[in-house]
């Protein structure tokens, strides 16, 4: 089978996975779990972009869904939980003394 | 508007939007039947004219360079907004002297390897961005991620040099402003804004593309520092515990 | 098959909007917004696809092989990275709202005073 002939079923599968992943992300209500599901959805989007012959957006989506989104979502969840508990989060940095 | 009214309105609204989408999609050409002239034109023209083998990067930083300048300023404005909202300058900070290290050595070893590997791959993506797939945006996020891994793998003291706001803030301005300065340099020399005036070099080598290389590095610096600033503002800033009168509704 | 990609993009957009409208948590709302944004990327890249085209990188491939549209790829890749900062701004607003009112429920924020 030539590459061109295999690409069309691959594209159909990639589109189907993305179409299935989006409602799953939305239906996950807990933000912490949703961050993880969003990461998996990001990987499925990367597969779709690669199959659509777009390596640059695929690289973007890969680093963003591995580094960018978990960073901001988990940091927000951590701060909300810490504020709920009414005390500072662990390892709260501060302006350390300059002599350190 | 109460929640029930909102959800009751949602159904017909989504149906209407879906009908509009269906009508729009029916007017599009079939998938794969590409008719627009610009894609084919750019694929033919960018490599001979600008000597960059990555046509997407050539489009991002040269043919549609002003679009990328706008995107970079969206990034800059969003970072300024986050800083304004979350940075606490009042100095009421609790100092946590105890540094907590990861318990298992094997996890730390893997993490250290990942920091080095991630940094190298990120810098390679930035440097060779206009030859092979990559670029300032992707490589910038990955480099910032590798630096932030220091916080996870090591202790806070290892990471502290990278959260110095007095260094990060000017660097962010350098990245975003450097783009404009390159454009203004072209304007000052008599051509239009953001014209590619530097020498072009040979395609496929590192010294090619003219101002694309400079703009690539400027946007890489802007994106890396933006991610570092985001982490610093979100997690590092001290969280004021709620006073009793403020807690609750 | 010829209209499936655009239908998938429309479906993702509608799902994301439904998630935003029915959300009970501001952080969940921000992630649903990212899902809606991803629908625009799928649409852009599907519009630019050329049948049997290769990626528009010409190191290794001969100049002149039919390649997919590079303009939509340029738009998509900058947009993906910038959307992280925009979502961070929205989450910062949510954190501020939580600090002032103690709630992350969008419906409960209506009576915040001060």
The reply to whether A99 falls in a domain is no
Kindly report the CATH number assigned to the domain that includes residue C64.
1.10.287.3510
Q: Return the higher-pLDDT residue of B117 and B236.
A: B117
- The answer to whether position A92 is within a domain reads no
Query: Residue C110: which pLDDT band, with cuts at 50, 70 and 90?
Result: low
Residue range of the domain that includes A24: 9-85
Quote the DSSP letter at residue A2: -
* Closest by Cα among C106, C113, C110 to C20: C106
Note the pLDDT of residue B97: 40
CA dihedral B91, B93, B97, B102 (to 10 degrees): -120
pLDDT tens per residue across span C43-53? 999 999 988 88
Q: Residues B47, B55: contact at Cβ < 8 Å?
A: yes
Alpha carbon B229 to its chain centroid, in Å, reads 12
Query: What is the model's pLDDT at position B70?
Result: 92
Domain that holds residue C91: 4-111
How is C64-100 classified by DSSP, letter by letter? TS-B--HHHHHHHHHHHHHHHHHHHHHHHHHHHHHHH
Give tens-digit pLDDT for B164-178. 888 888 998 899 899
Q: List, for residues B109-147, the tens digit of each pLDDT value.
A: 888 899 999 999 999 999 998 888 999 999 999 999 999
What's the mean per-residue pLDDT of chain B? 82
Our measurement of the distance from residue B12's CA atom to the centroid of its chain's CA atoms, rounded to an integer in Å, reads 37
How far apart are the C-alpha atoms of C83 and B191, rounded to whole Å? 33
pLDDT for the residue numbered C112 = 58
CA distance A78 to A35: 12
List the subunits that have 3+ CB pairs under 8 angstroms with C.
Answer: A, B
Residue C85: which of B31, B33, B79 has the nearest Cβ?
Answer: B79
Q: How far is CA C36 from the centre of its chain?
A: 5
Between B39 and A99, residue with greater pLDDT = B39
What confidence score (pLDDT) does residue B150 get? 84
Q: Name the residue among B208, B57, B78, B50 with its Cα closest to residue B137.
A: B57
Using a CB-CB distance cutoff of 8 angstroms, which residues of chain C are in contact with residue A80?
A: 27, 95, 98, 104
- Asked if the model's pLDDT at residue A94 lies above 60, the reply is no
Write down the pLDDT at residue C13.
96
pLDDT digits (tens, 9 = 90+) for B33-53: 888 788 888 888 888 888 888
Which residues in chain A have their CB less than 8 angstroms from residue B56's CB? Answer: 56
How many other CB atoms sit within 10 Å of the CB of residue A33? 10
Q: Are C90 and C33 in contact (CB under 8 A)?
A: yes
DSSP state of A53: T
Asked if B28 reaches chain C (Cβ–Cβ under 8 Å), the answer is yes
- Are C11 and A73 inside 8 Å of each other by CB? no
DSSP string, B121-132: HHHHHHHTTTTS
A-B contacts at Cβ under 8 angstroms: 93
- A1 within domain boundaries: no
Residue of B125, B139, B52, A49 whose CA lies nearest to C46: A49
Given an 8 Å threshold on Cβ–Cβ distance, is C14 in contact with B17? yes
Q: B71-116, pLDDT tens digit by residue?
A: 999 999 999 999 888 876 655 455 444 455 666 788 888 888 999 9
Q: Tell me which residue of B175, B104, B77 sits closest to C88, measured CA to CA.
A: B77
Tell me, yes or no, whether A100 lies in a domain: no
Tell me the whole-structure pTM to 2 decimals. 0.87
Number of separate domains in chain A? 1
Other beta carbons within 10 Å of B117: 11
Give the pLDDT score at B245.
Answer: 41
Query: Which chain C residue's Cα is nearest to A36?
Result: C31
Conformational region of residue B179, where left means phi above 0, alpha means psi within -120 to 50, and beta covers everything else: alpha
Average pLDDT over residues C89-108: 85
Q: In this predicted model, what pLDDT tens digit does every residue of B202-232 receive, in sequence order?
A: 777 777 778 888 899 999 999 999 999 888 8
Count B/C contacts: CB-CB distance under 8 Å: 178
The total of structural domains in chain C comes to 1
pLDDT tens string A13-56: 999 999 999 999 999 999 999 999 999 999 999 999 999 999 99
Q: How many CB atoms lie within 10 A of CB B55?
A: 29
Specify the pLDDT at position B81.
Answer: 92
CB atoms within 10 A of CB B95: 12
User: What pLDDT is recorded for position A6?
Assistant: 65
Nearest CA in chain A to C54: A53
- Taking an 8 Å Cβ-Cβ cutoff, which residues of chain B contact chain A? 54, 56-57, 91, 93-96, 99-100, 125, 133-135, 137-138, 141-142, 144-145, 148, 156, 160, 163, 227, 230-231, 234-239, 241-242, 247
Nearest CB neighbour to A79, from listed C4, C25, C95: C95
Which residues from chain B sit within 8 angstroms of residue C85, using beta carbons? 74-75, 78-79, 82, 226, 230
More confident residue, C71 or B93: C71
User: Contact C108/C101 with Cβ under 8 angstroms?
Assistant: yes
Average of pLDDT values for C70-75?
A: 92
Phi, psi of C105, rounded to the nearest 5 degrees: -85, 125
Question: Is A78 inside a domain boundary?
Answer: yes
What is the C-alpha end-to-end distance of chain B, expressed in Å?
A: 19
pLDDT for the residue numbered C10: 95
Whether the predicted pLDDT of B248 surpasses 50: no
In percent, the amount of chain B with pLDDT more than 70 equals 87
Indicate whether A95 pLDDT > 60: no
The reported pLDDT for the residue numbered B219 is: 93
The per-residue pLDDT of chain C, averaged, comes to 89
Confidence at A86, pLDDT banded by 50, 70, 90 = low
């Amino acid at each position: 089978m030539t590459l061109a002939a295999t690409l069309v079923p691959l594209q159909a599968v990639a589109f189907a996975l993305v179409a299935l992943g989006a409602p799953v992300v939305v239906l996950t209500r807990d933000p912490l779990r949703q961050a993880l599901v969003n990461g998996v959805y990001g990987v499925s989007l990367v597969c779709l972009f690669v199959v659509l012959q777009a390596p640059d957006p695929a690289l973007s989506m890969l680093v963003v869904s591995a580094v960018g989104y978990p960073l901001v979502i988990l940091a927000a969840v951590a701060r909300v939980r810490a504020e709920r508990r009414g005390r500072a989060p662990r390892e709260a940095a501060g302006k350390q003394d300059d002599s350190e | 508007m109460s929640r029930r009214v909102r959800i009751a309105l949602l159904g017909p609204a989504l149906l209407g939007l879906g009908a509009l989408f269906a009508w729009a999609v029916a007017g599009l050409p079939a998938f794969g039947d590409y008719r627009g002239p610009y894609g084919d034109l750019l694929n033919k023209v960018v490599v001979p004219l600008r000597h960059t083998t990555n046509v997407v990067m050539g489009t991002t930083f040269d043919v549609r360079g002003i679009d990328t300048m706008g995107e970079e300023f969206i990034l800059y404005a969003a970072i300024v907004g986050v800083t304004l909202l979350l940075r606490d300058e009042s100095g009421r900070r609790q100092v946590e002297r105890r540094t907590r290290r990861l318990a298992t050595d094997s996890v730390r070893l893997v993490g250290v390897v990942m920091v080095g590997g991630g940094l190298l791959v990120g810098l390679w993506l930035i440097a060779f961005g206009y030859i092979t797939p990559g670029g300032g945006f992707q490589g910038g996020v990955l480099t910032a991620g590798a630096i932030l891994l220091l916080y996870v793998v090591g202790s806070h003291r290892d990471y502290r040099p990278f959260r110095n706001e007095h260094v990060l803030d000017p660097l962010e301005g350098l990245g975003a402003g450097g783009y404009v300065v390159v454009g203004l340099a072209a304007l000052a020399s008599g051509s239009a804004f953001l014209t590619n005036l530097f020498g072009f070099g040979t395609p496929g080598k590192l010294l090619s593309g003219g101002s694309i290389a400079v703009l690539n590095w400027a946007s890489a610096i802007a994106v890396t520092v933006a991610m570092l600033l985001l982490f610093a503002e979100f997690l590092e800033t001290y969280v004021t515990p709620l006073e009793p009168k403020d807690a609750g509704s | 098959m010829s209209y499936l990609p655009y239908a998938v993009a429309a479906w993702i957009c509608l799902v994301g909007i439904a998630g935003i409208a029915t959300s009970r948590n501001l952080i969940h709302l921000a992630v649903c917004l990212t899902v809606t944004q991803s629908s625009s990327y799928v649409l852009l890249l599907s519009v630019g696809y050329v049948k049997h085209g290769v990626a528009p990188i010409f190191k290794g491939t001969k100049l002149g092989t039919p390649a997919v549209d590079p303009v939509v790829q340029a738009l998509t890749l900058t947009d993906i990275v910038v959307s992280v900062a925009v979502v961070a701004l929205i989450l910062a607003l949510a954190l501020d709202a939580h600090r002032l009112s103690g709630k992350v429920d969008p419906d409960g924020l209506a009576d915040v005073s001060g």
